[in-house]
């Protein structure tokens, strides 16, 4: 008996749905084992996480609150991943978006009419995120500098810069950290609990991106670049320009996430802007198989894990990082399972005629 791998012509439709679902179950089981080893009952822990996250009105609005930055950064990195551009800098792009939006809300309010501040703050948040993504994109497009590392290094720089601002440069008098509160006209309207209208921005962007990838030439070009760069070049696609344009959009979406965090939730620039959404976004984009319509759902699932983690910290005195461990585990079975998307796996009994020469050996 031997295992044969045959490359599939097209990606298996069944596997696209089954693999993420199975991965989720496997990571729950693995997480349960980890919980049990560390002396916590996995069943009561999971039950507490779920009821904590979706068992009350407060929990549900908190899930929505956390889902927004996850959706936006997930959509942002997903766009870059379409081209196999490994933008792992969503965290820094989000942070710079928050910084720029805070700057507008704090310092432009005195000189500009109040009604312009909120749109300008959102816009500048997007611009800052776009700029932060553009630097690695430019280095990649022009000089072929590896983007995985540059986007990541930009995260550390952005986070240190934001810390400098809220601890020193922009710190409000009388506080240890954090800027002054923004004027109320710079706040994003909330509709339920702390959930604010940024949720609708995220959903609209998801639909727009889905449309772009399904129906436009640009979306098609990005996909071709991701699937086969050589083919893209033969088709006359300008790869350098596409990288730069796509990353400007990708960074702007993550920048919007940062802007909505400060304008919609904290109403000031303070610690807690950068809490790792940009990294979770990588898991979300990959779990969604880069499908923009799937991203909001997966992001909500991740938000449930995060809120659930916070809840068990309060109720069961278990570390909130249980949520992070579960998230981190999600991709591992998912990656192992991705082989089913691209290959047909066949078990073959060795018949007497094949005993000498198996098909693989014939080809080799």
Partner 1 sequence: MSEFAMLLTSILTITLRAGTSLTYATLGEIYTERTGILNLGVEGMMLTSAVSAFAISYYTGNPWLGVLVAMLAGGILATIHAFLTVTMRANQVVSGLSITLFGTGLSSFLGERLGPESNGGNLVGLIGPRFSPVVIPWLSDIPVLGALFRQDVMTYILYLVIPIAALYLYKTRNGLNLRAVGESPQTADAMGISVTRTRYIYTILGGVMIGLGGAHLSLSYAPGWSENITGGRGWIVIPLVIFAMWNPWRAVLGAVLFGGINAVQFRLQADGTRIPAAYLNMAPYIITIVVLVVMTWWETLSHRTGAPAALGKAYMREDK
Rg of the chain over Cα atoms, rounded to whole angstroms, equals 23
Applying CB under 8 A, does 157 fall inside the site for partner 1? yes
Quickly list H helices, the chain: 13-37, 42-54, 57-82, 90-107, 114-143, 147-164, 198-215, 217-227, 229-234, 239-261, 277-287, 295-316, 322-337, 339-342, 359-363
Backbone angles phi, psi at 294, to 5 degrees: -80, -25
Applying CB under 8 A, does 226 fall inside the site for partner 1? no
Applying CB under 8 A, does 339 fall inside the site for partner 1? yes
3-state secondary structure of 203: helix
Which one of residues 18, 22, 108, 161 is an interface residue with partner 1 (CB under 8 A)? 161
CB of 66 to partner 1, least distance (A): 16
Q: For the beta carbon of residue 289, count every other beta carbon within 10 angstroms.
A: 19
CA angle 89–266–249, rounded 5-degree value: 30
The rounded Cα 72 to chain-centroid distance in angstroms is: 7
The contact mask relative to partner 1 for 262-291 (x = CB under 8 A, - = no) is -----------------xx-xx--x-----
Q: How many residues bind partner 1 (CB under 8 A)?
A: 53
* For partner 1, the closer CB: 139 or 245: 139
Applying CB under 8 A, does 150 fall inside the site for partner 1? yes
Task: Name the packing angle between helices 42-54 and 13-37 (round to 10°).
Answer: 120
| Structure tokens given for 119 | 């749109």
Which one of residues 332, 344, 346, 350 is an interface residue with partner 1 (CB under 8 A)? 332
Rounded Cα–Cα distance for residues 8 and 19 (Å) = 16
Applying CB under 8 A, does 88 fall inside the site for partner 1? yes
* For partner 1, the closer CB: 145 or 192: 145
Applying CB under 8 A, does 5 fall inside the site for partner 1? yes
Rounded Cα–Cα distance for residues 48 and 301 (Å) = 15
CB of 43 to partner 1, least distance (A): 18
Applying CB under 8 A, does 217 fall inside the site for partner 1? no
Applying CB under 8 A, does 56 fall inside the site for partner 1? no
* Length reported for the chain: 364
Which one of residues 107, 156, 175, 234 is an interface residue with partner 1 (CB under 8 A)? 156
Q: Which of 295, 248, 275, 208 is nearest to 126 (CA)?
A: 248
Applying CB under 8 A, does 343 fall inside the site for partner 1? yes
Applying CB under 8 A, does 163 fall inside the site for partner 1? yes
Which one of residues 25, 33, 153, 204 is an interface residue with partner 1 (CB under 8 A)? 153
Applying CB under 8 A, does 324 fall inside the site for partner 1? yes
CB of 181 to partner 1, least distance (A): 23
Applying CB under 8 A, does 349 fall inside the site for partner 1? no
Applying CB under 8 A, does 229 fall inside the site for partner 1? no
Q: For the beta carbon of residue 118, count every other beta carbon within 10 angstroms.
A: 20
Rounded Cα–Cα distance for residues 253 and 246 (Å) = 11
Residues that bind partner 1 (CB under 8 A): 5, 7, 34, 38, 86, 88, 139, 143-146, 148-150, 152-154, 156-157, 160-161, 163-164, 167-168, 279-280, 282-283, 286, 317-319, 321-322, 324-329, 331-332, 334-336, 338-339, 342-343, 360, 363-364
């Amino acid at each position: 008996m031997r295992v044969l791998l045959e490359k599939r012509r097209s990606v298996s439709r069944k596997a696209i749905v089954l693999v993420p679902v199975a991965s989720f179950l496997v990571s729950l089981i693995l997480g349960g084992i980890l919980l049990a080893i560390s002396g916590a009952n996995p069943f009561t822990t999971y039950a507490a996480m779920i009821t904590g996250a979706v068992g009350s009105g407060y929990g549900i609005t908190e899930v929505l609150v956390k889902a927004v930055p996850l959706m936006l950064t997930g959509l942002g990195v997903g766009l870059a991943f379409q081209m196999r551009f490994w933008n792992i800098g969503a965290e820094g792009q989000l942070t710079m978006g928050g910084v720029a939006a805070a700057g507008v809300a704090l310092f432009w309010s005195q000189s500009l009419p109040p009604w312009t501040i909120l749109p300008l703050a959102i816009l500048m948040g997007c611009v800052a995120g776009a700029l932060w993504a553009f630097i690695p994109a430019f280095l990649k497009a022009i000089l072929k500098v590896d983007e995985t590392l540059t986007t990541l290094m930009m995260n550390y720089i952005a986070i240190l810069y934001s810390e400098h601002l809220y601890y020193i440069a922009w710190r409000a008098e009388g506080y240890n950290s954090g800027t002054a509160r923004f004027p109320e006209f710079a706040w994003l309207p909330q509709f339920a609990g702390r959930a604010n209208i940024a949720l609708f921005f995220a959903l609209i962007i998801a639909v727009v991106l889905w449309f772009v990838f399904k129906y436009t030439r640009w979306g098609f070009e990005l996909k071709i670049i991701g699937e086969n760069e050589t083919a893209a070049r033969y088709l006359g696609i300008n790869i350098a320009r596409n990288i730069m344009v796509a990353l400007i959009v990708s960074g702007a979406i993550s920048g919007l996430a940062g802007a909505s965090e400060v304008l919609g939730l904290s109403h000031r620039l303070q610690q807690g802007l950068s809490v790792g959404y940009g990294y979770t976004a990588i898991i979300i984009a990959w779990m969604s198989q880069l499908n923009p319509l799937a991203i909001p759902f997966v992001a909500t699932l991740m938000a449930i894990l995060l809120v659930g983690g916070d809840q068990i910290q309060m109720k069961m005195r278990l570390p909130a990082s249980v949520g992070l461990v579960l998230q981190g585990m999600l991709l591992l079975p998912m990656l192992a399972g991705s082989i089913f998307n691209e290959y047909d796996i066949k078990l073959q009994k060795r018949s007497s005629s094949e005993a000498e020469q198996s098909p693989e050996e014939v080809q080799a």
